[in-house]
Amino acid sequence: MISRFWTVLIALGLPLLGALAWTWAPDVPVDALKARWAAPPSHFVSLQGMQVHVRDEGPRDDPNPLVLIHGTSASLHTWDGWVAALNPHRRVIRMDLPGFGLTGPAPDGDYSMARYTGFITDLLDLLNIDQAVLAGNSLGGGIAWQTALTHPKRVSQLVLVDATGYPLQPQSMPIGFRLAQISWLAPLTQNILPRSMIEASVRNVYGQPEKVSPALVDRYHDLTLREGNRASLVQRFQYRSSDAALAGQISKLRLPTLILWGSEDRLIPPEHGQSFQRDITDSQLQVFEGLGHVPHEEDPEATVQAVKRFLSLPP
């Protein structure tokens, strides 16, 4: 009887141990990732106790630069397609937010919206920028409109791309986000990261999942492994209810705003884009058929044309 017990235990345990070994993925030091993900024009600036990953491109004499703010678990690379089209005409600045990309964790673990808006204005101060156009996707869109609301003199125009703002009721959520909200799983999820889970999460937010390439999955996988990022994601999700409480402030915005949305966004459905258009007086909405939660990344050529028209740039 005892020998049979051990036989069953081994039969169950060995495959489990094998699976853990196959997917075991401890944190990776930032210096090990820089060669691949921080090639020029990347540089790092000291801000709020962090070494912030920044790219600053385009005409240096632009009096009203464009600042691009990525979403949850993304990085400044998500804007590559837009930057290539915009930097011949405008100065374009993008960064990895605290808790994500190569910037990594905030020293105090504060990922509140107030902290993020303070981060953006501190970065503008560091770069000697008085006023800018803020464009943001998802969390980055929420940071953009909150910055415009709390520091109206610093923001001339807004571009909101599938932005957060209203209480979130997703039709579908990436598996990585779902697991990050289960606090008791943290000791496991912070040391295990199957590449297949990253691929499934990225495909989940694309309207056309076949566009998700191995190189794209590599990027998301590598930067999620950056030391401290997985723990930061768990901490960031603790602010969801306080973010939702800010929705009533959106109607106070008084500046030209372009709202872009993917028709197939199942994380923040297109109805939220319609709500932004309703609540922001000087706003316009464009919905892109067939695209998902990150339309600027999924089809940069189509989406950047709307931005060019909004900014009165040549097509």
Domain boundaries defined on the chain: 27-310
Are 67 and 94 in contact by the 8 Å Cβ rule? The answer is yes
Map residue 68 onto helix, strand or coil.
Answer: strand
CA-closest candidate to residue 258, choices 179, 312, 204 = 312
Phi, psi of 231 (to 5 degrees): -65, -35
Q: Which class is domain 27-310?
A: alpha beta
Q: Residues of 14-31 as b/e, b for ≥16 C-beta within 10 angstroms?
A: eeeeeeeeeeebebeebe
Q: Return the number of other C-beta atoms located less than 10 Å from residue 214's C-beta.
A: 9
Site of tokens 């492994």: 225
Q: Which string of DSSP letters, residue by residue, matches 128-162?
A: T-S-EEEEEETHHHHHHHHHHHHSGGGEEEEEEES
Q: Return the number of other C-beta atoms located less than 10 Å from residue 252's C-beta.
A: 12
In this prediction, the residues of the chain whose per-residue pLDDT falls under 70 are: 1-23, 184-186, 188-189
- Predicted confidence at residue 20, as pLDDT, reads 42
Per-residue pLDDT reduced to its tens digit, 110-135: 999 999 999 999 999 999 999 999 99
Query: Which tokens is 311 given?
Result: 């900014």
Are 73 and 233 in contact by the 8 Å Cβ rule? The answer is yes
Kindly state the helix (H) or strand (E) to which residue 240 belongs, with its residue range. Answer: helix 240-244
Contacts of 19 (CB under 8 A, 6+ apart): none
- Predicted confidence at residue 7, as pLDDT, reads 57
**Surface-to-core class of residue 42, CB atoms within 10 Å of its CB (0-12 exposed, 13-18 middle, 19+ buried):** middle
Confidence (pTM): 0.91
- Predicted confidence at residue 71, as pLDDT, reads 98
Query: Which tokens is 91 given?
Result: 């100065």
